[in-house]
Amino acid sequence: MKRILSTKILDPKMEALLKKAGFYLQQYEALEFEYIPVRTESLPAIFTSRNAVKACFGNPTNKPAEIVLDCFCVGKKTAGLLKKHGQRVVAQEADAGRLAKLIIEKYTEESFIYYCSDRRLDTLPSELKAAGIPLEERIVYKTNFRKQSFENPFDGILFFSPSGVQSFLEGNELGDAWALCIGSTTAGEAKKYTDKIKIAKQPEAMALVELAIQFFSKNTTDIHE
């Protein structure tokens, strides 16, 4: 039986799929988020996570948004959440690197506010600043690690963000486990510690679950018997 660890609590439908496929599943929240009161402004906005959207528009300590922002974001679910809050999604890309490239190619005359975490990666801000595009960073939530150690090894570990990789490794080692990553940015962090990496076809939790099922169905020998 394959042993899978998810560094995020899965939707019951995803949990059921893994169990139906014959996996032993263990899961926990590797991260916890602390939202900071914020007031949005009229400049074009960049969001690379749903938590930043929740901090800006779903935090009850904030005043309701009085303006509709032109938003540039990473991921379909981030875009969907922005639209749910009445915001205008101008551009959406699969990862921060692609979003930076698009902005540099088509929006060089704009100035942006990047609503982000205190643990945000350098990819997007460094590329925009190198291209001379004005960018103000505004921290709207803090990402805290939830350290938890696991005695038994796993065949695969589901990672949903670079911070999730970092949090897991504060109390554990990857060992022989495959790092199954939701996107290339997360994989880039995992690659610092292992070459055994697989990336989901789409940066979505369901795609990551499907990757685990498909990958281990082709590789039937248990790593940890």
Range of the domain at 87: 33-143
Q: Span 181-192, mean pLDDT?
A: 93
Query: Per this entry, what is the length of the chain?
Result: 225
DSSP labels, 96-113? HHHHHHHHHHH-TT--EE
Q: Are residues 129 and 185 in the same domain?
A: no
User: In the structure, what pLDDT confidence band is assigned to residue 203 with cuts at 50, 70 and 90?
Assistant: confident
Q: Are residues 179 and 160 in the same domain?
A: yes
The pLDDT value recorded for residue 223 is: 43
User: In the structure, what pLDDT confidence band is assigned to residue 188 with cuts at 50, 70 and 90?
Assistant: very high
Yes or no: say if 188 and 166 are a contact pair by the CB < 8 Å rule: no
Q: Are residues 7 and 61 in the same domain?
A: no
Q: Is 210 a domain residue? A: yes
Average pLDDT, the chain: 92
Residues in contact with 38: Cβ distance below 8 Å, sequence separation at least 6, in sequence order: 55, 56, 59, 62, 115, 138, 140
Q: Are residues 51 and 133 in the same domain?
A: yes
Q: Are residues 102 and 204 in the same domain?
A: no
The pLDDT value recorded for residue 224 is: 44
Q: Which of 88, 120, 143 is the last residue of a domain?
A: 143
Residue that is written with structure tokens 């038994």 in the block: 152
Q: Are residues 150 and 139 in the same domain?
A: no
Q: Is 173 a domain residue? A: yes
The pLDDT value recorded for residue 117 is: 95
User: In the structure, what pLDDT confidence band is assigned to residue 222 with cuts at 50, 70 and 90?
Assistant: very low
User: In the structure, what pLDDT confidence band is assigned to residue 63 with cuts at 50, 70 and 90?
Assistant: low
The pLDDT value recorded for residue 176 is: 95
Q: Report d(CA 225, CA 139) in Å as an integer.
A: 45
First to last CA, the chain: 8
Query: Domain containing 37 — which CATH number?
Result: 3.40.50.10090
Q: State how many domains the chain has.
A: 2
Q: Which amino acid is at 53?
A: V
Q: Are residues 189 and 91 in the same domain?
A: no
Q: Residue 225 above 50 pLDDT?
A: no
Q: Are residues 26 and 51 in the same domain?
A: no
Q: Is 224 a domain residue? A: no
Q: Are residues 125 and 186 in the same domain?
A: no
The pLDDT value recorded for residue 220 is: 57
User: In the structure, what pLDDT confidence band is assigned to residue 17 with cuts at 50, 70 and 90?
Assistant: very high
